[in-house]
Amino acid sequence: MGVIQNLLAVIVVLGVLITFHEFGHFWVARRCGVKVLRFSVGFGKPLWSRFDRHGTEFAVAAIPLGGYVKMLDEREGPVAPEERDQAFNRKSVWRRIAIVSAGPLANFLLAIVAYWLLFVVGTTTVAPVIGDVEPGSPADRGGLEAQQEIVAVEGDVVSSWDDINLKLVAAIGHDGDLAIEARDEGETQASTYRVPVEDWLVRQDPPQPLVSLGVTPWRPPMPAVIGQVIDDEAAARAGLKPGDEIKAVNGEPVEDWMAFVDVVRGSPGETLALEVERGGDRRELELTPGRQSLEDDVSIGYIGAGVEPVDWPDEYRREIRYGPVAAIGQSVSRTGEMSLLTLDAIRKMVVGLISPTNLSGPITIARVAGESARTGLESFVSFMAYLSISLGVLNLLPIPVLDGGHLVYYIIEVIRGRPVSERVQAVGLRIGLALVGSLMLMALYFDLMRL
């Protein structure tokens, strides 16, 4: 069931993002007087198609990993004399720039709309209150303490642990001090703490900013009660079910869920004797955690189970909500922030600050899409917005075969006063295809390694 849900989630997400991207090209092309021959979501043989009154074929193809808008173009085939004024290549360079830019811009617009909806409807998060500080860690050396609430990182206001993670990831490669503002419990005035770091999160796979900082978020007491079990994983094979409370492991009492997690993570491949309470009855089960590999040949145990959610005290809840007008500015700001973060992450990957193993392909996208869909509509919409931003940013990279590569050619044409030669464009196309193909294979390889 989990695989089917992941598959359906990724089809929905990619279908929406690709449709919006291609519709951007299509809509502007029509308004620039270019005849559109085909609007296809997916590649390969069409599963469904129809023609509109303008002669454009709308199709849904078998391979849902992309899409395209095919326009009338003399470089791709003969064009009737009476239709030459509708050919893409006959349009001014500024109209061609507008058409090519429209796809990525449509993705940014989709993200803005998604964030606007989230801000208007409102989201509930938990206050970023520190539960524990690891002795000797950067947070400890900087003076941060348990029960303090973090309110800003590097001068930017934060209201959740997600915000903090984004700010900390954006600082990858930082040397020196990170400025973190926090206030004591019951206080309104915050103090600034200088947290010393060196080569912050460089080549960490995956980046774990809170762990590296030495901070554990505060959580309400969580009994070791199973909330969900993933099919075909170790917990399911052992017979664990939602509602089971883990009382003891190998004869040792289990204090809470985190204590149980520590035992599981430290026991990859080892058989554990569990004492479980189910419906008032005690029973014994044998659990053998699977092995999940981390960097430096380190492995941890993994069972494919989650904790039963607990209620957070009201004083730790934070609701983020804006009016329809105020939400516009917030959504534009969030989209811009995430776009810059994505672009900066690409830059840091190129210069070696971020490991290329963080590249994600269709398998990881499907898994994350499925998990976000199961978590709730809010998480699903937020993930879709971020993926739409990533698609927009990647398409604007100056790589031949991508929209950004075409824009480079057109900008050169504006400067020189004449188009880039067909020979140069053909060479660029081959280079671009090789580069994009290599990146896709790398992403797929790292996806399979994560499995």
Active site residues: 22
Name the residue with tokens 């005849």.
Answer: 35
How many other CB atoms sit within 10 Å of the CB of residue 236?
A: 15
The angle that helices 422-450 and 362-375 make with each other, rounded to 10 degrees, is 60
Residue 450 one-letter amino acid: R
Residue type (1 letter), 30:
R
Phi, psi (deg, nearest 5) at residue 18:
-65, -40
Alpha carbons 115 and 246: distance in angstroms, whole number: 39
Q: Dihedral angle at the C-alpha atoms of 193, 194, 195, 199, nearest 10 degrees?
A: 150
DSSP assigned state of 129? B
Place of tokens 């671009």: 432
- DSSP strand pairing (226-229 vs 215-217): unpaired
Q: Which residues pair with 274 in a beta bridge?
A: 249, 285
Partners of residue 216 on adjacent β-strands: 132
* DSSP 3-state of 322: coil
